[in-house]
């Protein structure tokens, strides 16, 4: 029903003169921004549910934490946390490899119990049987609007396994995607996609990979390698979280970025499953703009739209900035940390930095007036 109403509203908007439609978008968006700034909890959260992982990816910015081989907050702590998170709409459960967390299905169910409608779980896809079983159990036991499983694939077989330092990783990820795609036949709220981190290690065979991955008939999503000191700008040293790639393999030079964009656009036109929709196009364009100019073309709403909870209970307004407090020190009351003086100071600092974090970019795009006009009025995107 919501999707039908959204489509009807957009169709009506596209039917009025462009200048008037733009004014309507502007007024609605200003109202939306006022509302999110008044929210007691963010709309979306990233929660690290485990520090354990069964791969050793070169681009991983979390690799120092993985050596601790522990899970995140206990189920009891999460239950306590939920008391102060009502109003949360979306959550991304990450790690580590999230499906190594024994209670992953229970954790999803708990967040659904407080009204969360959309849950995303990124995975390396190695544990095919467990992933398929857990996803199936989640789908049977919840009524989520969307369960998004983003399976990592960073190149053709040899390239992917080398980047992940895990022989056989590519074939297992591919099998996981095929199994999940079959589940989608009976569960339309399941969304499966391929997530690719672009770096010097995989751009040489990017075209071949896109054609190969396109055969899986699921959306392909791309982002550039990132970290607090890599492709992020304006974050004062004292405000940075020590999250940096295991190996720095960022793409060299401005021509390298332009080449990547050219390849993505060209290959997308040749394959209807490359998922090169307006959202992905703009995310890559904004990323390249930031990498070239080291300025943010968008207003960063980190600390309002979204936030981060680390496995030890630390809370950050985004993944790349230092924590503003710890939940364990306030009896798991999220709002006490989220609206602390330290958090408000970090929100001010965040106004002067920029990064290519895909989650933040997509969130900021949803509240950027020129972007909304582009998507709603000028693109042929079908809602």
* Number of domains composing the chain: 1
Note whether residue 15 is domain-resident.
no
pLDDT at residue 227, as a whole number? 66
Note whether residue 255 is domain-resident.
yes
Note whether residue 10 is domain-resident.
no
Bridge partners (DSSP) of residue 94 are 48
pLDDT at residue 27, as a whole number? 94
CATH number of 318's domain: 3.20.20.70
- CA dist., res. 101 & res. 50, Å (int): 6
Note whether residue 25 is domain-resident.
no
pLDDT at residue 62, as a whole number? 73
Q: Which domain holds residue 87?
A: 39-378
Taking only the tens place, the pLDDT of each residue in 236-275 is: 666 666 656 666 566 666 567 778 888 887 877 776 554 5
pLDDT at residue 53, as a whole number? 92
Note whether residue 256 is domain-resident.
yes
DSSP E strand boundaries for the chain: 44-48, 90-94, 118-123, 146-152, 190-198, 220-224, 232-233, 306-309, 314-316, 325-326, 354-355
Note whether residue 289 is domain-resident.
yes
Taking only the tens place, the pLDDT of each residue in 292-319 is: 888 888 888 889 999 999 999 999 999 8
Dihedral sign (CA 58, 61, 64, 65): negative
pLDDT at residue 284, as a whole number? 87
- CA dist., res. 317 & res. 321, Å (int): 7
Q: Whole-angstrom distance between the N-terminal and C-terminal Cα of the chain?
A: 13
Low-confidence ranges of the chain (pLDDT < 70): 1-3, 63, 67-69, 227-234, 236-255, 271-276, 379-383
Note whether residue 29 is domain-resident.
no
**Helices vs. strands in the chain: H and E counts, helices first:** 15, 11
Note whether residue 156 is domain-resident.
yes
């Amino acid at each position: 029903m919501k999707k039908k109403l959204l489509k009807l509203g957009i169709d009506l908007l596209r039917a009025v003169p462009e200048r008037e439609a733009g004014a309507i978008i502007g007024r609605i968006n200003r109202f939306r921004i006022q509302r999110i700034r008044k929210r007691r909890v963010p709309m979306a959260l990233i929660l690290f549910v485990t520090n354990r992982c069964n791969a050793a990816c070169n681009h991983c910015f979390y690799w120092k934490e993985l050596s601790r081989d522990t899970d995140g907050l206990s189920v009891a702590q999460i239950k306590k946390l939920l008391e102060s998170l009502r109003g949360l709409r979306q959550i991304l459960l990450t790690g580590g490899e999230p499906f190594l967390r024994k209670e992953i299905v229970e954790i999803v169910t708990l967040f659904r119990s407080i009204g969360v409608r959309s849950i995303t779980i990124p995975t390396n896809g190695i544990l095919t049987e467990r992933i398929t079983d857990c996803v199936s159990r989640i789908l049977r036991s919840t009524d989520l609007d969307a369960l998004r499983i983003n399976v990592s694939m960073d190149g053709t077989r040899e390239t992917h396994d080398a980047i992940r330092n895990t022989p056989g990783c590519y074939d297992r990820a591919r099998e996981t995607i095929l199994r999940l795609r079959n589940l989608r036949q009976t569960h339309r709220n399941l969304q499966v996609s391929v997530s690719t981190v672009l770096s010097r290690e995989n751009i040489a065979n990017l075209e071949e990979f896109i054609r190969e991955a396109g055969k899986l008939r699921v959306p392909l999503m791309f982002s550039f390698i990132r970290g607090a000191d890599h492709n992020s700008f304006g974050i004062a040293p004292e405000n940075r979280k020590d999250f940096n790639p295991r190996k720095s393999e960022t793409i060299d030079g401005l021509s390298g970025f332009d080449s990547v964009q050219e390849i993505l656009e060209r290959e997308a036109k040749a394959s209807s499953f490359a998922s090169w929709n307006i959202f992905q196009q703009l995310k890559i364009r904004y990323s390249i703009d930031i990498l070239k100019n080291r300025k943010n073309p968008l207003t960063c709403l980190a600390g309002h739209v979204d936030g981060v909870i680390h496995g030890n209970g630390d809370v950050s307004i985004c993944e790349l900035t230092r924590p503003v407090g710890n939940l364990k020190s306030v009896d798991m009351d999220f709002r006490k940390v989220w609206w602390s003086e330290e958090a408000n100071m970090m929100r001010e600092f965040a106004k002067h930095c920029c990064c290519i974090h895909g989650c933040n970019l997509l969130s900021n795009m949803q509240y950027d007036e020129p972007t909304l006009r582009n998507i709603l009025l000028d693109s042929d995107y079908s809602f």
